[in-house]
């Protein structure tokens, strides 16, 4: 189980690059002007040699310079004593994320709609539609996020659904090894409840299988009941959870539960 968790943690790092990173004694410090927690947190990727208190002090100084709280991603591979240490330093728990997986050969056949268009690249129109559906108005985010998507080092499957000439739903599959990760599944609020999200997910999974993927994973914020129900109905099963320990609260206008 630990090996599979480590694999998915590696895949998710590849799938979602940050605007800036630093490597520090087995930790990776990620910064993206707080676009999402995942791209603005500290993750443990290797062994450490520097005393823990010194490392925590250093990271807090770096994130203070970046104008962001220090945030740590806590997954099942990390000793519980580390989470306790952060609690003692008055770090609070941000949101909890549930990781779901599926073996693609076991998935149920789906009736697909021809309205889902798949492309191998993320276009400016796709990204602008995503910004619009998420209500992303922060100009720093709108400036840096396109470069973050462009920096994804793996093959992608971008899904588009149009109504006339407007993109009203998006989805993104990221291929890595024999896995496909599902990201950026968004449907315009006026078009929800019509099975569009299901068609997007199924279309990406079918295309991924044709390209050799045998497993799938995704991440959904705990409490997002509609998304969880959709993914479960497609055949995804709960695998593990992770959460973020955050140094202090911050007011965000562009951060949404699906952006963990």
Sequence ranges of the domains in the chain: 2-97+241-259, 101-240
pLDDT band at 107 (very low <50, low <70, confident <90, very high): confident
Q: Distance between CA atoms of 209 and 222, rounded to whole angstroms?
A: 28
- State mean pLDDT over 210-223: 97
Tokens describing residue 46: 């290797």
Q: What is the CATH number of domain 101-240?
A: 3.40.630.30
Q: Distance between CA atoms of 166 and 200, rounded to whole angstroms?
A: 16
pTM listed for this prediction? 0.93
Tokens 């770096």 correspond to 62
Contact 158, 121 (CB under 8 A): yes
Share of the chain above pLDDT 70, in %: 93
- State mean pLDDT over 158-168: 96
Residue 52: which of 64, 62, 44, 63 has the closest Cα?
A: 44
pLDDT band at 84 (very low <50, low <70, confident <90, very high): very high
Contact 197, 189 (CB under 8 A): no
* Domain at 2-97+241-259, CATH class: alpha beta
- State mean pLDDT over 73-98: 96
Contact 49, 115 (CB under 8 A): no
Q: In terms of C-beta density within 10 A (0-12 exposed, 13-18 middle, 19 or more buried), how is residue 114 classed?
A: exposed
pLDDT band at 78 (very low <50, low <70, confident <90, very high): very high
pLDDT at 111: 67
pLDDT band at 251 (very low <50, low <70, confident <90, very high): low
Domains 2-97+241-259 and 101-240 are alike in CATH topology: yes
């Amino acid at each position: 189980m630990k090996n599979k968790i480590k694999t998915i943690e590696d895949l998710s790092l590849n799938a979602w690059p940050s605007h800036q990173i630093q490597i520090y004694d087995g930790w990776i410090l990620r910064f993206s002007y707080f676009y999402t927690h995942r791209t603005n947190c500290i993750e443990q990727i290797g062994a450490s040699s520097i005393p823990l208190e010194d490392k925590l002090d250093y990271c807090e100084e770096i994130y203070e310079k970046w104008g962001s709280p220090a945030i740590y991603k806590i997954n099942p591979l990390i000793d519980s004593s580390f989470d306790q240490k952060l609690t003692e330093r008055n770090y609070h728990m941000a949101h909890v994320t549930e990781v779901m997986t599926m073996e693609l050969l076991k998935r149920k056949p789906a009736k697909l709609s021809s309205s889902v268009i798949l492309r191998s690249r993320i276009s400016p129109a796709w990204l602008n539609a995503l910004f619009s559906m998420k209500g992303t108005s922060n100009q720093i985010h709108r400036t840096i996020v396109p470069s973050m998507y462009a920096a994804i080092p793996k093959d992608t499957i971008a899904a588009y659904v149009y109504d006339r000439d407007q993109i009203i739903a998006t989805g993104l599959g990221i291929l890595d090894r024999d896995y496909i990760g599902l990201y950026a599944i968004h449907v315009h609020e006026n078009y929800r409840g019509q099975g569009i999200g299901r068609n997007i997910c199924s279309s990406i999974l079918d295309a991924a299988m044709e390209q050799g993927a045998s497993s799938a994973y995704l991440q959904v914020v705990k409490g997002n009941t509609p998304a969880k129900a959709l993914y479960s109905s497609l055949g995804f099963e709960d695998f593990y959870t992770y959460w973020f320990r955050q140094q202090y609260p911050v007011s965000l206008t562009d951060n949404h539960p699906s952006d963990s």
